[in-house]
């Protein structure tokens, strides 16, 4: 997997971009009406009617095709735009007091004087739920791994948790998250193809895999189940381990996102956002207008067993809190196999560089968007279809990662996404 930095026109702090007529274009996102049974169908979705509210039917700006080959791209800088949330040190303490990942003030600014921790957290088999520590993450990504399952990579910066996990194995995609947030990467081994690749990069010194001993501070969890799915990470003991091993845990300059309490303008609403990855893994986020966040519901029965579609709230076994997010962002990203061997084993290269389609959900609204990542060490920038930055609600953000050819349906205030790959 090779990153391909894009040449930019101009350099003025944090850039805002709008896409200008690249020559290559991907398959269109194909919307459809929701089947009467509300169950996924094995046949391709059909286009909606002419009066569909689908915002991409009139989309004129093409986007990147799923390929590793560089393609022509031009960016122009927006003028007279607002700046992102202020994350400069305070005059009193010389410490950053706002978390650039959430836009929220932090109770303990010293926590931001370190590298963030990106930790892999299992979501299958079903008995690993409820997971531990997920509600304390600043942001998280869920993506397809193989054989119908998904996994989380959660980034912790403003909180510490004594039990995070179960910690599971790494994938190629995790390199993107580790680079974007200048983090350590906590994981439980990986397929040799992926592990050897990660070790050969300049991220090697920031890879923290399960080993023997208390440094790094992995431990067997308090659950009666197989040890493979019972390994957890203790963040409270991490600083001592960092000092012992003389690791680089220096404060990082992390680009702040755009946050605002003020709701954006959008004619589209969203009370539920479904993501169907497979009969083994599907979920939805339901908007709570009082709390102004989305609550996560996870599949409770496997469709492959002949059961009806069913859900249950996803909670955090460490805190007892439900898993919520002020912002839910669905991104469409190329999933690519490097060779037939990787294809057979479903070892994906998820190419989170350049730009693609997205939807942003906040305050019960749905906002058609682009995600942009022009440099490998920068996080995602989310813009409207005309290039303006999208301001997230201050708080946690959860990214649902889908294949670039994935499909979606919009039935009133319900949005359903179905994972597809080329």
Cβ atoms of 409 and 31 closer than 8 Å: yes
pLDDT of residue 170: 97
- Residue 11 clears pLDDT 90, i.e. is over it: no
Q: For residue range 49-74, list pLDDT tens digits in order.
A: 334 454 444 443 333 333 322 222 33
pLDDT of residue 213: 82
Q: How confident is the model at residue 211 (pLDDT cuts 50, 70, 90)?
A: confident
- State the DSSP H helix or E strand holding residue 418, giving kind and residue range, or none if neither: strand 414-418
The torsion angle over the Cα atoms of residues 13, 16, 22 and 27, rounded to 10 degrees, is: 130
pLDDT of residue 301: 80
The torsion angle over the Cα atoms of residues 2, 348, 60 and 75, rounded to 10 degrees, is: -20
Query: Is residue 344 included in any domain, yes or no?
Result: no
pLDDT of residue 160: 94
Q: How confident is the model at residue 29 (pLDDT cuts 50, 70, 90)?
A: very low
Measured distance CA(160)–CA(171) in Å, rounded = 24
Domain count, the chain: 1
Ranked by mean pLDDT, the top range of 29-33, 84-88, 218-222 is 218-222
Q: Which residue has the higher pLDDT, 412 or 89?
A: 412
pLDDT of residue 94: 55
pLDDT of residue 96: 60
Measured distance CA(222)–CA(279) in Å, rounded = 29
Q: How confident is the model at residue 169 (pLDDT cuts 50, 70, 90)?
A: very high
162: CB partners within 8 A, 6+ apart? 234, 235, 236, 318
Global model pTM greater than 0.85: no
pLDDT of residue 302: 78
Query: Is residue 188 included in any domain, yes or no?
Result: yes
Query: Is residue 131 included in any domain, yes or no?
Result: yes
Query: Is residue 398 included in any domain, yes or no?
Result: no
Measured distance CA(264)–CA(380) in Å, rounded = 19
Beta strands in 43-114 (DSSP E): 75-77
For the chain, what percent of residues have pLDDT higher than 90? 70
Host domain of residue 175: 109-245
The three-point CA angle 203-346-212 to 5° equals 45
The structure tokens listed for 152 are 């989380």
**Which domain CATH number covers 184?**
3.50.90.10
Task: Please compute, for residue 43, the number of CA atoms within 13 A of its CA located in the half-sphere on the CB side.
Answer: 5
Query: Is residue 170 included in any domain, yes or no?
Result: yes
pLDDT of residue 95: 62
Query: Is residue 171 included in any domain, yes or no?
Result: yes
Q: How confident is the model at residue 249 (pLDDT cuts 50, 70, 90)?
A: very high
- Residue 399 clears pLDDT 80, i.e. is over it: yes
365 forms beta bridges with: 269, 362
Query: Is residue 91 included in any domain, yes or no?
Result: no
- Residue 9 clears pLDDT 60, i.e. is over it: no
Query: Is residue 94 included in any domain, yes or no?
Result: no
pLDDT of residue 311: 95
Q: For residue range 280-309, list pLDDT tens digits in order.
A: 999 999 999 999 999 999 999 878 888 888
């Amino acid at each position: 997997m090779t990153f391909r930095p894009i040449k930019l026109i101009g350099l003025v702090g944090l850039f805002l971009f709008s896409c200008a007529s690249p020559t290559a274009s991907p398959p269109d996102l194909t919307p459809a009406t929701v089947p009467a049974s509300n169950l996924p169908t094995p046949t391709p979705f059909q286009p909606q009617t002419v009066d569909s509210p689908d915002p991409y039917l009139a989309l004129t700006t093409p986007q990147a095709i799923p390929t590793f080959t560089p393609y022509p791209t031009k960016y122009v800088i927006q003028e007279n735009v607002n700046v992102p949330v202020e994350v400069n040190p305070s005059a009193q303490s010389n410490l950053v007091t706002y978390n650039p990942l959430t836009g929220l003030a932090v109770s303990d600014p010293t926590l931001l004087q370190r590298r963030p921790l990106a930790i892999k957290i299992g979501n299958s088999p079903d008995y690993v739920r409820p997971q531990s520590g997920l509600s304390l993450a600043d942001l998280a990504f869920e993506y397809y791994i193989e054989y119908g399952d998904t996994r989380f990579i959660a980034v912790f910066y403003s909180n510490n948790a004594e039990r995070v996990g179960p910690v599971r194995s790494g994938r190629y995609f995790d390199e993107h998250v580790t680079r974007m947030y200048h983090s350590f990467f906590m994981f439980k081994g990986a397929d040799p193809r992926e592990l050897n690749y990660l070790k050969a990069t300049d991220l090697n010194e920031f890879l923290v895999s399960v080993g023997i001993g208390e440094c790094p501070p992995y431990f067997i969890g308090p659950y009666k189940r197989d040890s493979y799915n019972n390994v957890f990470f203790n963040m409270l003991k991490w600083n001592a381990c960092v000092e012992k091993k003389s690791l680089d845990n220096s404060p990082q300059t992390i680009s702040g996102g755009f946050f605002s309490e003020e709701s954006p303008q959008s004619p589209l609403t969203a009370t539920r956002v479904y993501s169907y990855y497979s009969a083994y893994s599907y979920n939805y986020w339901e908007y709570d207008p009082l709390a102004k966040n989305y609550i996560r519901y996870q599949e409770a029965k496997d469709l492959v067993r002949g059961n009806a579609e069913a859900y249950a709230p996803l909670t955090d076994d460490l805190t007892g809190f439900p898993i919520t997010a002020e912002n839910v962002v669905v991104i469409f990203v190329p999933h690519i196999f490097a060779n037939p061997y990787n294809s057979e084993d479903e070892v994906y290269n998820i190419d989170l560089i350049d730009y693609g389609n997205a939807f942003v959900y906040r305050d019960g609204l749905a906002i058609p968007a682009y995600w942009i990542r022009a440099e490998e060490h920068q996080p995602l920038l989310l813009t409207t279809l005309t290039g303006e930055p999208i301001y997230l609600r201050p708080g946690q953000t959860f990214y649902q990662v889908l294949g670039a050819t994935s499909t979606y349906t919009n039935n009133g205030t319900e949005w359903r996404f179905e994972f597809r790959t080329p």
